Structure 1
Amino acid sequence: MTSFGGAVELHGHRGARGLRPENTLPGLAFALELGVDAIEFDVGLTADEVVVLNHDQAFSPVNVADTGPANPGDPGFPYVGRPIRELRLDQVKTLDAGIRRRSDDDPFKLTHQPLPGTPVPTLAEACALLSRAPGVDLAVELKTDPSWPDADVALFTAAVAQVLSAFDLLGRSRLLAFDWRVLLEARRYAPRAARVALIEAKTLVPGTTWLAGMEPDDPARAALDIGATVLSPEHVLADLDLVGAAHSLALPVVVWTVNEPDEMARFIGYGVDAIVTDYPDRLRNVLKQHGLPVPRPLRTQPLG
């Protein structure tokens, strides 16, 4: 199982979302070249039960574009906007994940470099890349929600664990979820992997269905009781009290998503164990300014 080494870890969010197309092989490779301790990315399950990388449960026109149908006259086309669970892999592979729709309120409009023609990768393709990056952990977020039947959550978790196991990466992996049923299934299907309990404001309301029956008033204790090995709060929730409560239970704290240097410095001061950022380059600079170690850059060889 992955472990934290005592310093503040640097986690690249969706690769390096602020700089390169998110959840793509070039984005993951760029994060490795900058130097990260772990790479966070998101996965979904296709209709033919292949695990692929994408943040939302449906493909968003913000960062994915149709290029044409998988087969002439495909009634499922266009694919953008449709849930991953309704699309086959051959349909998913027609999509261009290297673009980004520009808008005035896009926080990445000045820093993001599009790479048109970049396909949506499978988890197996991502593992093939990351298996050649020793020392870098995989933080794999499984995208489900409380509307999913329990059987589908189990199927998805098992599929993710099977791919990671095939590449002998379970020992370098952390399975992340807001839907804490995933953490229960991860204990069954991926006992060697760390289990990361994600929380944000909407998952901590009274009567929440996100926490697999746990009460939201003490999220650190609830995460421990559900079997999590890491607590990962949204940055607006990560105050000193929450960090202290988690640490009192020996739960490392991974805060997300922090992009401004002053905020990075604040969380370093709080004693968090890792910071997730869209800008690994910025966090590297802040860590150096605080006299903290930074992960070494890794240049991977092209696949194929």
Structure 2
Amino acid sequence: MTHPWFQGVATPRVLAHRGLVTPDAAAGGVAENSFAAVAAAHSAGAPYVESDCHLTADGVVVLFHDEDLSRVTGDPRRIAEIRVAELEALMADRGGLITLEQALDSFPLVRFNLDVKAEAAAVPVGTAVAPFADRVLVTSFSDDRRRTALDAAATAGADIRPATSAGTATIARLLAAVAARSDRLIARALRGIDALQVPERRGRLRIVSPRLLAAAHRHGVEVHVWTVNDPDDMRRLVQLGVDGIVTDRADIALDVLR
């Protein structure tokens, strides 16, 4: 049975990467993964927001990509070293900090794609999303972090598990299975996986191929490609058969693909 995270939304899916920050918004100081960025994605009509989860020093899950503040605020400290109140002050003129709890409560129509960036955040993320598991997909480059978050959601009483996409190790096993043309190994790699969220290429290695797409679709798994901002690339990938586009310009993608 298809997870509710996928139901009722047409493909190709548009996932707003870290929300939506247009050039005008960026010129005004709005940062990715801010409250304003999530609000802009929702306002543009994006059904999905892709974001990242870190844990503050006082145990609050916040939507933030980097492990430190250097790139976004110029402060070299790590998110894990800062309390949420101070982080709110630092983000006040950058679109506003948004916690995971605020995101889930403030945007009840948005479906979130959450990348667990920090090991310490895995259990808090799973616990926080448990009541919202029908509209959350949990992912991580680390399959261990991803599974820990899913287990935490179950422990916290989630009626269903959140949707999930494969981590790096699972994707590596899948690519090897596809190359070997072993449907048994493909099925094993994709067990418990709802989506593959991958770049089109990693260096010289082509990840998204007709064979990968066919293997995933044969086992009921979608393929979403990140991070695609060029309209021609969006069209080409959709014509190839991908199910979703993760993009910094959800506004453009919605116009191009719908």
Q: Same fold (TM over 0.5)?
A: yes
- Is 1:119 the counterpart of 2:96 in the alignment? yes
Tell me the equivalent position of 1:3.
6
Tell me the equivalent position of 2:41.
31
Distance 1:283 1:180, change over 3 A: same
Matched letter for residue 113 of structure 2: A
Q: 1:265 aligns with which of 235, 249, 254?
A: 235
Once residues 150 and 96 of structure 2 are traced to their aligned partners in structure 1, the CA distance between those partners, rounded to angstroms, is: 32
Residues 35-81 of structure 1 show CA distances to partners (whole Å, capped at 9, x for unaligned) of 112111111011221101111111233x224xxxxxxxxxxxxxx22
Larger radius of gyration: 1
CA contact (8 A) 2:34 2:94 kept: no
CA contact (8 A) 1:175 1:183 kept: yes
Distance 1:258 1:278, change over 3 A: same
Once residues 87 and 169 of structure 1 are traced to their aligned partners in structure 2, the CA distance between those partners, rounded to angstroms, is: 27
Residues 258-278 of structure 1 show CA distances to partners (whole Å, capped at 9, x for unaligned) of 100110001111221111111
CA contact (8 A) 1:45 1:51 kept: yes
Once residues 96 and 44 of structure 2 are traced to their aligned partners in structure 1, the CA distance between those partners, rounded to angstroms, is: 22
Once residues 282 and 182 of structure 1 are traced to their aligned partners in structure 2, the CA distance between those partners, rounded to angstroms, is: 32
Distance 1:196 1:213, change over 3 A: closer
CA contact (8 A) 1:41 1:139 kept: yes
How far the C-alpha of 1:17 sits from its partner, in A, is 3.9
Tell me the equivalent position of 1:77.
none
Once residues 170 and 149 of structure 2 are traced to their aligned partners in structure 1, the CA distance between those partners, rounded to angstroms, is: 15
Find the residue that maps to 1:138 and give its secondary structure.
Answer: strand
Find the residue that maps to 2:251 and give its secondary structure.
Answer: helix
Tell me the equivalent position of 2:137.
174
Q: 2:198 aligns with which of 214, 225, 233?
A: 233
Tell me the equivalent position of 2:117.
143
Find the residue that maps to 2:69 and give its secondary structure.
Answer: coil
How far the C-alpha of 1:179 sits from its partner, in A, is 0.8
Once residues 39 and 218 of structure 1 are traced to their aligned partners in structure 2, the CA distance between those partners, rounded to angstroms, is: 31
Tell me the equivalent position of 2:226.
256
Once residues 279 and 213 of structure 1 are traced to their aligned partners in structure 2, the CA distance between those partners, rounded to angstroms, is: 28
Q: 2:54 aligns with which of 44, 47, 57?
A: 44
How far the C-alpha of 1:284 sits from its partner, in A, is 1.6
When normalised by structure 1's length, the TM-score is 0.68
Tell me the equivalent position of 1:15.
19
CA contact (8 A) 1:44 1:85 kept: yes
Distance 1:198 1:255, change over 3 A: farther
**Gapped regions of structure 2 (runs ≥ 5):** 26-30, 155-160, 179-185, 202-206
How far the C-alpha of 1:246 sits from its partner, in A, is 1.4
How far the C-alpha of 1:169 sits from its partner, in A, is 1.7
Q: 2:148 aligns with which of 185, 207, 213?
A: 185
Where relative contact order (Cα < 8 A, 6+ residues apart) is larger, the structure is: 1
Matched letter for residue 278 of structure 1: D
Once residues 283 and 215 of structure 1 are traced to their aligned partners in structure 2, the CA distance between those partners, rounded to angstroms, is: 28
Residues 97-128 of structure 1 show CA distances to partners (whole Å, capped at 9, x for unaligned) of 7xxxxxxxxxxxxxxxxxx3533221112222
Distance 1:6 1:122, change over 3 A: closer
Find the residue that maps to 1:174 and give its secondary structure.
Answer: strand
Say which structure is richer in helix: 2
Tell me the equivalent position of 2:190.
224
Q: 1:157 aligns with which of 112, 122, 127?
A: 122
Work out the percentage of aligned pairs sharing the same amino acid. Answer: 30
Tell me the equivalent position of 1:93.
88
Once residues 210 and 171 of structure 2 are traced to their aligned partners in structure 1, the CA distance between those partners, rounded to angstroms, is: 26
Matched letter for residue 73 of structure 2: V
CA contact (8 A) 2:19 2:51 kept: yes
The alignment's C-alpha RMSD in Å is 2.5
Once residues 287 and 212 of structure 1 are traced to their aligned partners in structure 2, the CA distance between those partners, rounded to angstroms, is: 27
Once residues 34 and 139 of structure 1 are traced to their aligned partners in structure 2, the CA distance between those partners, rounded to angstroms, is: 17
Once residues 286 and 14 of structure 1 are traced to their aligned partners in structure 2, the CA distance between those partners, rounded to angstroms, is: 19
Distance 1:121 1:50, change over 3 A: same
Find the residue that maps to 1:197 and give its secondary structure.
Answer: coil
Once residues 264 and 213 of structure 1 are traced to their aligned partners in structure 2, the CA distance between those partners, rounded to angstroms, is: 24
Matched letter for residue 6 of structure 2: S
How far the C-alpha of 1:214 sits from its partner, in A, is 5.5
Find the residue that maps to 1:23 and give its secondary structure.
Answer: coil
Matched letter for residue 189 of structure 1: A
How far the C-alpha of 1:95 sits from its partner, in A, is 1.3
